[in-house]
Amino acid sequence: MRLSIIPVLLLALLPSGIPVIPTVRAASPFDEHFTSKTMRVDYFHTGRTGHEVVSLDEVVSDGPWAGSRTKLVDETNLGAYLFAVVDPDTQRVLYSRGFGSIYGEWETTPEAKLNYRTFHESLRFPWPKETVQVVLKRRQADSTFREIWSTLVDPNSRFVNPADRAPAGKVSSLIDNGSPSEKVDLLLIAEGYTAAEMPKFRADAARLTAKMFATEPFKKRMKDFNVRLLELPSLESGVHQPRTNQPRRTATGVQYNIFDSERYALTMDNKAFRDVASSAPYEFVEILMNEEQYGGGGIFNDQATTSVDTAFAEYVFVHEFGHHFAALADEYYTSDVAYETGVVDRPEPWEPNITALKDPAKLKWRDLVEAGTALPTPWSKEEYEKHSYGIQQRRRALRASGAPESEMNALFREQQTWETKHLSTMPTSGKVGAFEGAGYEQKGLYRPEADCIMFTRDEVGFCRVCSRAIERIVDMYSRP
């Protein structure tokens, strides 16, 4: 005879004899919809100016989920692109993140008007328990997002690969402040270091992160970060440098000369980069290039790079991480860039630290501007430009002549000394306002303060607007 087992609910009694019914805690939105793994949707992004096509590559596991389990929906309104993971039955957004992309940057170059190119990209989010719709959107001129692609992903489909990759190299912890789900998780990857140079990589990583955490607001938020190291030995020192005929094949494929800019360094091999990065829990990545030549790059929610042996490596590391981490725009405008400038009637930028100042009363950092501060804010612009353009001319001559990096460093130090004095002794120095000249544009774009680490190499740190933007992202990944 089969006995049925009937569950018994035991009720506690209040002194009055009234039973107390125990409460059952509802599952969190994360636990309801996701597991502790990371899903990675890889796709191809193809197009040219005015024509954009996205096609699926593959869906794979990308290691353990390191992101927040509470801040699932992105409310920052940052990024040229936005992706959302949607419940197809209810159309509820379960997860979303804004981001930038190499494709989006390439579209602003002259080449994009002439040729088609394809870039490989990835979307990372917690592994869903049920089928989800992944929607990719692009920001329009009016700052709204428009869907450009979507696909249904069934985590139990035979076309989805749930297997994890073996670690590509040795992973170690440089800073450990707690659970990945409650901290900002930064992964530093060795690029262009031989096996014998791994002690140098560890020392370089410690030196550069020490500089970042000596810079506010990272200094006061250090306890909100974990930093891990990934050692990927190369056959020889250095990374690929097309302009100097120094060919290299490295683990993530980082190289100089992106968009034919001698100092711009990124990896265009997204699949290789993501595969090796999956060796450790991460949300943000900076690749350390074992190089002396000045260079680096940073794209919001994508990647950052820096050369470790330039005299300004610490500055480059922190500056590029500002792009990658908090979507900060470049505030300088006198250096040579690959992007088209002089755009007429430019829309309001989405980056938090530059503005087109269409309406001063609606300035995005208006609450930080003291009463009586003029908008636009006057500064010694002409004198600054005269000096800066002269420096750029000498810089191009040094590169063309193949001068040693020590001469370039000396030029940068000369520039730094002059700019520090000039930008700190104006009547409006230290004030928050709207200073014309930013985002590669001499006119029509404005930055928050006369000086900032996003504007010059001066030892001034982040301005108040940039600092606030950084703390907002720290909160997004580290707060329960």
- Separation between Cα atoms, residue 139 and residue 79, nearest integer Å: 8
Task: Output the pTM of the full model.
Answer: 0.92
Are 106 and 85 contained in the same domain? yes
Are 225 and 98 contained in the same domain? no
Q: C-alpha distances in angstroms, 230 versus 105, 198, 251, 286, 398?
A: 27, 10, 11, 11, 35
Are 195 and 238 contained in the same domain? yes
- When divided into structural domains, the chain yields a total of 3
54 domain residue, yes or no: yes
Instruction: Report the pLDDT value the prediction gives residue 244, as an integer from 0 to 100.
Output: 84
**Cβ–Cβ under 8 Å, residues 275 and 168:** yes
Are 49 and 90 contained in the same domain? yes
284 domain residue, yes or no: yes
144 domain residue, yes or no: yes
**Cβ–Cβ under 8 Å, residues 122 and 326:** no
Instruction: Report the pLDDT value the prediction gives residue 18, as an integer from 0 to 100.
Output: 53
Residue found by looking up tokens 């191009």 in the block: 396
346 domain residue, yes or no: no
In the chain, the largest separation of any two C-alpha atoms, in whole Å, equals 98
Are 153 and 266 contained in the same domain? no
**Cβ–Cβ under 8 Å, residues 227 and 211:** no
- Separation between Cα atoms, residue 74 and residue 165, nearest integer Å: 28
Residues near 295 by Cβ (< 8 Å), separated by ≥ 6?
Answer: 256, 262, 263, 264, 265, 289, 305, 306, 307, 310, 316
- Separation between Cα atoms, residue 314 and residue 421, nearest integer Å: 21
17 domain residue, yes or no: no
Residue found by looking up tokens 């990835």 in the block: 122
Q: C-alpha distances in angstroms, 214 versus 211, 222, 479?
A: 5, 9, 22
341 domain residue, yes or no: no
Instruction: Report the pLDDT value the prediction gives residue 76, as an integer from 0 to 100.
Output: 97
243-280 residue pLDDT tens? 888 899 999 999 999 999 989 999 999 999 999 999 99
Instruction: Report the pLDDT value the prediction gives residue 65, as an integer from 0 to 100.
Output: 97
Are 184 and 157 contained in the same domain? no
337 domain residue, yes or no: no
Residue found by looking up tokens 């609606």 in the block: 362
Are 225 and 156 contained in the same domain? no
- Separation between Cα atoms, residue 283 and residue 222, nearest integer Å: 16
Which residues of the chain have a pLDDT value below 50?
Answer: 1-16, 24
In this structure, what token pair is assigned to residue 53? Answer: 């096509």
100 domain residue, yes or no: yes
Return phi, psi of residue 241, to 5°: -130, 90
- Separation between Cα atoms, residue 329 and residue 100, nearest integer Å: 11
The domain boundary, picked from 326, 345, 371, lies at 326
Residue 190 belongs to domain spanning: 170-326
204-213 residue pLDDT tens? 999 999 999 9
Instruction: Report the pLDDT value the prediction gives residue 23, as an integer from 0 to 100.
Output: 52
Instruction: Report the pLDDT value the prediction gives residue 257, as an integer from 0 to 100.
Output: 94
| CATH number of the domain encompassing residue 198 | 3.40.390.10
**Cβ–Cβ under 8 Å, residues 50 and 153:** no
